[in-house]
Structure 1
Amino acid sequence: MTDATAHQIEHEARFGDYVELLKPRVMSLVVFTALVGLIVAPVGVHPFVAAVSILCIALGGGASGALNMWYDADIDRIMKRTKGRPIPSGRIAPGEALGVGLTLSGFAVVFLGLAANWVAAGLLAFTIFFYAVVYTIWLKRWTPQNIVIGGAAGAFPPMIGWAVATGGVSIESVLMFALIFMWTPPHFWALALFMKADYDEAGVPMLTSTHGRRVTRNHILVYTLLLAPVALGLCFTSIAGWAYLVAAVVLNAAFVLGAVLLWRRNEDVAAADNYKAEKKFFALSLIYLFLHFGALMIDAMLRGLGG
């Protein structure tokens, strides 16, 4: 075996590299919120149709991740958080990633349309386009409001799940969309606070880089205060019950308190202390979203038992 052949084998992509290309952690959130949207809908779905639909939504989310990694490979090589991804590390070629993203996009949209309906398929197609083109190619490198507008891409999955069951859109699915849409900025700005150096070096105009940490904390507080009534608004719809009401009250009180404490942080204290507070708020934001949608699922199951 020649040295060249050995080098090629050493860097040959494995199955796990392709899985990583699809951003499985992001995909898991897409699958979970889409599944909740499907389950809480007032129309039942055959288990096989539901399973195929969720698989298509997952593949669509993964396709978006692959297209994002393809386009962002240059800045991913710079940032510590992303330089180990499959393309910057040389395990997958950029053209291959593009091919995977486009192929999975087409497969996911067409099969969702055939398995469920074309409203859900259209929403999935628009979600992929929004994340890959509107957010990744246009907004991310152009404006510090990138994550505010671009956050819509991550907010569509429960609407898609709802459309799989009902074939349309309603106030309930719009409010689930709004919950994720309003949650996204404080969630990602908390990440940007303790990853500020990465974004600075890569030249990504995150709010932390363009306006500083203090302005970012102000924005986190404002968006958290705006998020609370949206989350509580779901309590007045048909899909929310006691589980969601309790979860929404407790979680939004905790989230607002966390945002206030973050806003009151002194920028002159040791950076390590600030990073600890920012990471704590970021972790809380993950729990916040998971428990809101988990509570909606619990209420749907309780309705099923009682009905």
Structure 2
Amino acid sequence: MTDVSYQTAKSAGQTGEAQFGDYFALLKPRVMSLVVFTALVGLLVAPVGVHPFVGFCAILFIAVGAGASGSLNMWWDADIDVVMKRTAKRPIPAGKVTPDEALGIGLALSGFSVVLLWLATNALAAFLLAFTIFFYAVVYSMWLKRSTPQNIVIGGAAGAFPPMIGWVVATGSISVEAVLMFMLIFMWTPPHFWALALFMKSDYDDAGVPMLTVTHGRKSTRRHILAYTLLLFPLAIGTAFTSIGGPIYLVTAVVLNVWFLKGAYDIWRRDETQAEADNYKVEKSVFKVSLLYLFLHFGALLVEAVLRPYGLGGW
């Protein structure tokens, strides 16, 4: 990582006084919102309750840790963010925040979130948060992202840890249910991002990022989306028959997975001529469905947990 993006922004006259929103944008708030929601679900579906104040602090510190990861990622990726249309307006390539500021914020928030989560909850939860930050900032951003087309497959683990951390906050241990919530996000991540890569066209080529669309071609990417969606189907349905599942989740999972699989099949059977003719309408639709997919799965788990004490949730 170099200061090339910031210097490019300065030379283009894009710099200006940084506002609070510029620093907040470093934390990737949209990603943080998903982290907060899945971590909260992991906490609330656990069989052991926690004091509301402890739970609030835990989710807050997990969110701060997610923000720290985002800031460190933007610091490292500043040189390629300035090249890609999707990321060119981020604070560093836009010349609003310097790379050194992003690094300092990321490191400070990392230490703050991990130490306070440890003090508020337990050592295992703090260790998992620290490992998540390290995995996203170092293993994914610094190593995998620019070295292998499996970047998003392996790197997806970073986004899959929050519900497991939430579960560990409550129970102090890892169980089958926590692993299944982790795997649900882990297996969802590749088709979600590959659908995005298909309609972002040349962004990853321009930045030199070895996304599957670049290294193996777009036809191969379409096959991979279908394959991972097929693997995701039984995993999502199987979660219904654990202690955190129930009939509401099962119906939700069946509908969503049939919907998602239909979209993946439609992507697989198309070629680039068809896709370009309708401006990647199907690929964009599947990407949007994938966002709804994850939210509704975890939402259904939350509904099961809320109704269970009244004898209305679970089996």
Normalising TM by the smaller chain, what interval? over 0.9
Post-superposition Cα deviations, 1:119-164, rounded to whole Å, max 9, x if no partner, equal: 1000000000000000000000000110000000000000000000
Judge which range, 235-244 or 137-146, deviates more: 235-244
Contact 1:59 1:105 in 2 (8 A): yes
Unpaired segments ≥5 residues, structure 1? 1-7
Measure, in 2, the Cα distance between the counterparts of 1:143 and 1:104.
Answer: 29
Q: Following the alignment from structure 2 to structure 1, what is the Cα–Cα distance between the partners of residues 91 and 310?
A: 45
- Structure 2 residue corresponding to 1:148, chosen from 153, 157, 167: 153
Q: In structure 2, what is the Cα distance between the partners aligned to 1:135 and 1:201?
A: 19
Q: Following TM superposition, by how much is the alpha carbon of 1:234 offset from its aligned partner in structure 2, in angstroms?
A: 0.5
CA contact (8 A) 1:196 1:209 kept: no
CA contact (8 A) 1:199 1:205 kept: yes
1:129 is matched by which residue type in structure 2?
F
The question of 1:120 aligning with 2:113 is answered no
Correspondence for 1:28? 33
Structure 1 segments of 4 or more deviating over 2 A? 266-270, 304-307
For 2:152 and 2:274, how far apart are their aligned partners in 1? 28
Q: 2:284 aligns with which of 279, 297, 300?
A: 279
Aligned to 1:53: 58
- Partner residue, 2:191: 186
- TM-score, with normalisation over the residues of structure 1? 0.95
Contact 1:30 1:58 in 2 (8 A): yes
Give yes or no for contact 1:159–1:173 (8 Å, CA) kept in 2: yes
CA distance in 2, matches of 1:172, 1:101: 31
Aligned to 1:246: 251
- CA RMSD after TM alignment: 1.2
| CA deviation after TM superposition for structure 1 residue 304, in Å | 2.7
Q: Which residue in 2 is equivalent to 1:268?
A: 273
Which residue identity is paired with 1:22? L
Contact 2:192 2:287 in 1 (8 A): yes
Aligned to 2:140: 135
Q: How do residues 33-44 of structure 1 correspond to structure 2 at under 5 angstroms? A: 33-44=38-49
Q: Deviation of residue 93 (structure 1)?
A: 0.5
Check if 1:303 corresponds to 2:308. yes
Residue matched to 1:3: none
Paired with 2:297 and 2:192, the residues of 1 have a C-alpha distance of 15
Conserved in 2, the CA contact under 8 Å of 1:265 and 1:274? Answer: no
How much has 1:260 moved relative to structure 2?
0.5
* Match in the other structure for 1:234: 239
Question: How many Å apart are 1:267 and its aligned residue?
Answer: 2.3
Partners of 1:92 and 1:107 lie apart in 2 by: 21
1:21 is matched by which residue type in structure 2?
L
**In structure 1, what is the Cα distance between the partners aligned to 2:52 and 2:277?**
49
Identify which range, 128-137 or 228-237, moves more after superposition: 228-237
Alpha-carbon contact 2:204-2:211 (below 8 Å) kept: yes
Three-state SS of the structure 2 residue aligned to 1:90 is coil
Q: 1:239, 1:100 → 2: CA distance?
A: 37
Is residue 195 from structure 1 mapped to residue 203 from structure 2 by the alignment?
A: no
Q: Is the 8 A contact 2:275 2:282 kept in 1?
A: no
Q: Summarize deviations over 1:2-57 as a string: whole Å, max 9, x none.
A: xxxxxx9x712111111100000000000000000000000000000000000000
Number of matched pairs: 299
- Matches of 1:158 and 1:110, distance apart in 2: 19
Instruction: State the Cα distance separating 1:272 from its structure 2 match.
Output: 4.4
Whether 1:19 and 2:29 are equivalent positions in the alignment is no
Residue 168 of structure 1: aligned partner: 173
